[in-house]
């Protein structure tokens, strides 16, 4: 319910009377005087203000209220990069030997079990070996003995011939007998496991002890 003050109520009654006279005049077909039209316009302005005035209306400073800002959309983030592996898996014999080089250098001058020695093109037990087959054999041994390491025979003078890919156990022993005893315990045949001492200066003599 709209509450009006006495002076406002009087203005509204005057406005309604003016509008009623105008309607009656128009119904009779008479022209609308300019003064009457101005009164209607002014009256409508006053009446409209009164009709929409409320004592509880919030005050305004005359400025348009800006619409509330919508929350900023979160930009889509690119997918996280996959973590990189600590070291790439060697895919060739050369890469594997390079990966094991530091480990093999620590074995120089010590007795270790030699587990295999093969060259590309050789045939053993009816199997002809190429690089892929030699690498596969190394991986099979490494799966059972994680401390197995690969080296080139030409890098150490304690081997009779260069051109062989040699697999040794990167575990040192006090003497040749102890290295050969390890081969016995693992069940290797004498041709595939025996004591070897790696040396860059001394020749094969005295650095190889076969198993009996």
**Looking up tokens 């093999």, which residue turns up?**
104
8 A C-beta contact, residue 61 and residue 46: no
Split at pLDDT 50, 70, 90, the class of 93 is: very high
Q: What is the mean pLDDT of residues 181-196?
A: 96
Residue (of 111, 107, 109, 137) closest to 122 by Cα position: 137
Best-predicted range by mean pLDDT among 4-18, 75-89, 92-106? 92-106
Quickly tell me which residue has 């002809």 as its tokens: 128
Q: What pLDDT is attached to residue 153?
A: 97
Q: What is the pLDDT of residue 171?
A: 97
Neighbours of 45 (CB within 10 A): 11
Mean pLDDT of 171-180: 97
Instruction: Answer whether 199's CB lies under 8 Å from 156's CB.
Output: yes
Strands 165-169 and 194-197: unpaired
Q: Calculate mean pLDDT across residues 40-58.
A: 39
User: Mean pLDDT over residues 68-92, rounded?
Assistant: 55
Opening angle at CA 65, ends 59 and 70, nearest 5: 135
Measured CA to CA, the distance from residue 154 to residue 151 in angstroms comes to 9
Inter-residue contact 204 to 160 (CB < 8 Å):
yes
187 vs 7: which has the higher pLDDT: 187
- The pLDDT confidence band at residue 87, using thresholds 50, 70 and 90, is low
For the chain, give every domain's residue range.
Answer: 6-51, 93-209
Q: Tell me: pLDDT of 173 over 60.
A: yes
Q: Is the pLDDT of residue 139 over 90?
A: yes
> What percent of the chain stands above pLDDT 90?
54
| DSSP 8-state assignment for residue 79 | P
* Residues found in the chain: 212
More confident residue, 62 or 125: 125
- Using only C-alpha atoms, what is the Rg of the chain? 52
pTM over 0.75: no
Tokens of 14: 């005057």
């Amino acid at each position: 319910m709209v509450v009006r003050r006495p002076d406002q109520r009087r203005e509204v009654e005057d406005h309604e009377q003016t509008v009623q006279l105008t309607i009656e005049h128009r119904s009779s077909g008479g022209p609308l005087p300019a003064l009457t039209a101005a009164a209607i316009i002014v009256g409508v302005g006053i009446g409209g203000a009164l009709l929409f005035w409320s004592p509880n209306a919030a005050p305004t400073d005359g400025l348009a209220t800006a619409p509330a800002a919508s929350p900023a959309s979160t930009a889509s983030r690119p997918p996280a990069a996959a973590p990189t592996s600590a070291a790439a898996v060697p895919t060739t014999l050369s890469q594997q030997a390079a990966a094991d080089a530091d480990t093999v250098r620590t074995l120089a001058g010590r007795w270790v079990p030699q587990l295999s020695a093969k060259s590309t093109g050789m045939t053993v037990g009816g199997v002809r070996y190429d690089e892929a087959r030699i690498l596969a054999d190394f991986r099979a041994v490494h799966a059972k003995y994680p401390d197995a390491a690969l080296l080139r025979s030409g890098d150490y003078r304690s081997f009779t011939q260069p051109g062989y890919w040699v697999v040794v156990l990167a575990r040192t022993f006090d003497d040749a007998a102890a290295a050969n005893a390890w081969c016995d315990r693992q069940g290797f045949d004498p041709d595939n496991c025996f004591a070897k001492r790696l040396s860059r200066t001394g020749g094969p003599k005295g650095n190889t002890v076969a198993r009996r």
